[in-house]
């Protein structure tokens, strides 16, 4: 399949969350039918509270064989286990508590109180990614990667003008001076994110409109990092009406 990059517009935030959740469940069922295992990569924030929570509350989730689903994170805040700022903490409440994914299929990044440094945590996660990689790859080719976007255009923990944007020889890198607290984070790099089969980017709110317009217009990755993400098969920006204000008409898709 040729890579496609399209925008799907929804009337409001609630419709956006419900729609992406339904599409996610349908696609995971298809992937499991085709290959018997699904690997997903997720971020926290609005992706968790909007989309993963809707999946967790959907009756259709019962149609998924969750024992064959593996969950990974695209980034994590370097804070202690159980801290509310950790992405995995919100994901646990919104999603993982509502589906039957075996503990061994859940792959969180290390917390700050794990007894290792942030650099060691990055290397540890790289090893875990490598162990799950198919032949000739150094990380899983995620079937779906769910990303959010900040008003500054950052995605995962890849921030405008930061050196992590240009790293291609690492899979996981630390961030020591995030402009959003907490300052220290771990993040996947572009090569791992862009090896995903499908990248789904979730945006809502008028404050995201200019960022989305710039990303789709080809603004530099240094300026708008989310513009640098692209799935191998498909890249879809799922947005609400407020965030779609500056999207060119030719990029708005009527269907998935």
User: pLDDT for 109-119, tens place per residue?
Assistant: 999 999 999 99
Span 183-233, pLDDT tens digits: 999 999 999 999 999 999 999 999 999 999 999 988 999 999 999 999 999
- Flag whether pLDDT at 253 surpasses 90: no
Q: What is the mean pLDDT of the chain?
A: 94
Distances (CA, A) of 228 to 23, 26, 37, 92, 196: 23, 27, 27, 28, 13
pLDDT at position 45 is 83
- Domain ranges for the chain: 4-247
Rounded to an integer, what distance in angstroms lies between the CA atom of residue 41 and that of residue 36?
A: 17
Q: How far apart are CA 193 and CA 147, in angstroms?
A: 10
| Structure confidence at residue 1 (pLDDT) | 38
Q: What is the pLDDT of residues 167-194, one digit of tens each?
A: 999 999 999 999 999 999 999 999 999 9
pLDDT of residue 50: 92
Mean pLDDT, rounded, for 85-105 = 96
pLDDT of residue 2: 45
Rg from Cα positions in the chain? 17
pTM beyond cutoff 0.85: yes
Fold type of domain 4-247: Rossmann fold (3.40.50)
What is the residue whose two structure tokens read 């517009």? 9
Distance CA 39, CA 117 (A): 27
Average pLDDT for 141-167: 96
Question: Confidence band (pLDDT; 50, 70, 90) for 26?
Answer: very high
pLDDT reading at 98 higher than 50 = yes
| Overall average pLDDT of the 137-145 stretch | 95
Residues in contact with 119: Cβ distance below 8 Å, sequence separation at least 6, in sequence order:
174
Q: What local confidence, expressed as pLDDT, does residue 256 receive?
A: 53
């Amino acid at each position: 399949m040729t890579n496609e990059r399209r925008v799907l517009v929804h009337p409001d935030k609630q419709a956006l969350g419900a729609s992406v959740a339904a599409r996610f469940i349908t696609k995971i069922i298809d992937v499991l039918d085709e290959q018997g295992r699904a690997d997903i990569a997720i971020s926290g924030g609005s992706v968790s509270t909007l989309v993963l929570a809707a999946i967790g509350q959907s009756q259709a989730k019962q149609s998924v064989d969750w024992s064959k689903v593996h969950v990974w994170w695209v980034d994590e805040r370097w804070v202690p286990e159980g801290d509310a700022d950790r992405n995995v903490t919100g994901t646990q409440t919104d999603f993982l508590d509502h589906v039957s994914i075996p503990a061994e299929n859940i792959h969180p990044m290390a917390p700050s109180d794990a007894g290792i440094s942030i650099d060691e945590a990055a290397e540890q996660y790289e090893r875990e990614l490598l162990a799950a990689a198919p032949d000739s790859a150094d990380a899983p080719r995620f079937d779906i990667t769910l990303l959010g976007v900040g008003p500054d255009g950052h995605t995962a923990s890849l921030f405008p003008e930061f050196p992590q944007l240009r790293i291609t020889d690492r899979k996981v890198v630390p961030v020591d001076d995030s402009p959003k607290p907490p300052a220290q984070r771990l993040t996947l790099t572009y090569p791992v994110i862009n090896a995903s089969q499908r990248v789904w980017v979730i945006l809502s709110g008028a404050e995201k409109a200019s960022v989305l317009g710039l990303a789709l217009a080809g603004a530099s990755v240094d300026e708008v990092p989310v513009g640098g993400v692209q799935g191998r098969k498909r890249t879809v920006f799922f947005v609400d009406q407020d965030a779609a204000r500056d999207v060119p008409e030719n990029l708005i898709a009527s269907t998935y």
